[in-house]
Amino acid sequence: MERRSVKYANIICEDRKREELGNIKEFAANIKEHGLLHPLVVKELGDGTFQLMAGGRRYAAVGMLGWEDVDVTICPQGTNDLSARTIELIENVFRLNLTWQEETNLKLDIDRLQKETYGEKNSTSPTAKGWSTTDTAKLLGESRQNTNRDIVLAKAMEMIPAAFTKAKTKKDAMQALKDLHKKKKAEEAAMRLATTLTKTPLDFQRKKLVESFMVGDSFEKCAKLTKGGFDLIELDPPYGIDLDKNKDTDPALLLGLREYKEVAVKDYPEFVRKSLQLAWDLLKTDRWLIFWCGSQWIQTIMDTAIEIGFNGKSIPAYWIKPAGQSLNLSRWLASNVETFLYIAKGKPVICKPGRLATFNFNRVNPDHKIHTTEKPIELYEEVLKTFLPQDRECRIAIPFLGSGNTLLAAANLGHSGVGCDLGAHNRDQFVVRVHACKPGEYKSYTQEEKE
Q: What pLDDT shows up at residue 244?
A: 44
Q: What pLDDT shows up at residue 274?
A: 96
Q: What pLDDT shows up at residue 253?
A: 45
Kindly report, residue by residue over 196-242, the tens digit of the pLDDT. 666 788 888 989 999 999 999 999 999 999 999 999 999 999 877 65
Give the span between the Cα atoms of 250 and 70, in whole angstroms: 49
Superfamily of domain 197-450: Vaccinia Virus protein VP39 (3.40.50.150)
Nearest CA to 359 out of 318, 406, 315, 322 is that of 318
Residue 248 pLDDT greater than 50, yes or no: no
Cβ neighbors of 11 (< 8 A, separation 6 or more) are: 40, 42, 49, 50, 51, 52, 59, 70, 72
CB atoms within 10 A of CB 53: 24
Q: Is 111 exposed, middle or buried (0-12, 13-18, 19+ CB in 10 A)?
A: buried
What are the φ and ψ backbone dihedral angles of 291, each rounded to 5 degrees? -125, 105
Give the span between the Cα atoms of 14 and 49, in whole angstroms: 13
Kindly report, residue by residue over 350-406, the tens digit of the pLDDT. 999 999 999 999 999 887 888 888 999 999 999 999 999 999 999 999 999 999 999
If you ran DSSP here, which 8-state letter would residue 116 be given? H
Per-residue pLDDT band for 259 (boundaries 50, 70, 90) equals low
Of residues 6 and 94, the one with the higher pLDDT is 6
Residue 326 pLDDT greater than 70, yes or no: yes
Q: What pLDDT shows up at residue 250?
A: 46
Q: Measured between alpha carbons, how far apart are the two ends of the chain, in Å?
A: 66
Distance between alpha carbon 365 and the CA centroid of its chain, in Å? 14
Give the span between the Cα atoms of 409 and 428, in whole angstroms: 18
Give me the CATH topology for the region 2-159: 3.90.1530
Kindly report, residue by residue over 65-83, the tens digit of the pLDDT. 888 888 887 776 555 555 5
Q: Do residues 416 and 205 touch, judged by C-beta distance below 8 A?
A: no
Kindly report, residue by residue over 2-53, the tens digit of the pLDDT. 778 888 888 888 765 555 666 778 778 878 876 776 778 888 787 888 888 7
Nearest CA to 289 out of 235, 237, 225, 338 is that of 235
Per-residue pLDDT band for 278 (boundaries 50, 70, 90) equals very high
Give the span between the Cα atoms of 401 and 409, in whole angstroms: 12
pTM of the model: 0.61
Could you tell me the CA-to-CA distances from 128 to 82, 137, 147, 269 in Å, in that order? 21, 17, 20, 69
For the chain, give every domain's residue range.
2-159, 197-450
What are the φ and ψ backbone dihedral angles of 420, each rounded to 5 degrees? -145, 145
**Length of the chain in terms of residues written:** 451
Of residues 245 and 107, the one with the higher pLDDT is 107
What are the φ and ψ backbone dihedral angles of 72, each rounded to 5 degrees? -140, 155
Rounded (5°) CA angle 47-50-56 = 165
Strand runs (DSSP E) across 272-334, as ranges? 283-293, 317-325
Give the span between the Cα atoms of 380 and 401, in whole angstroms: 12
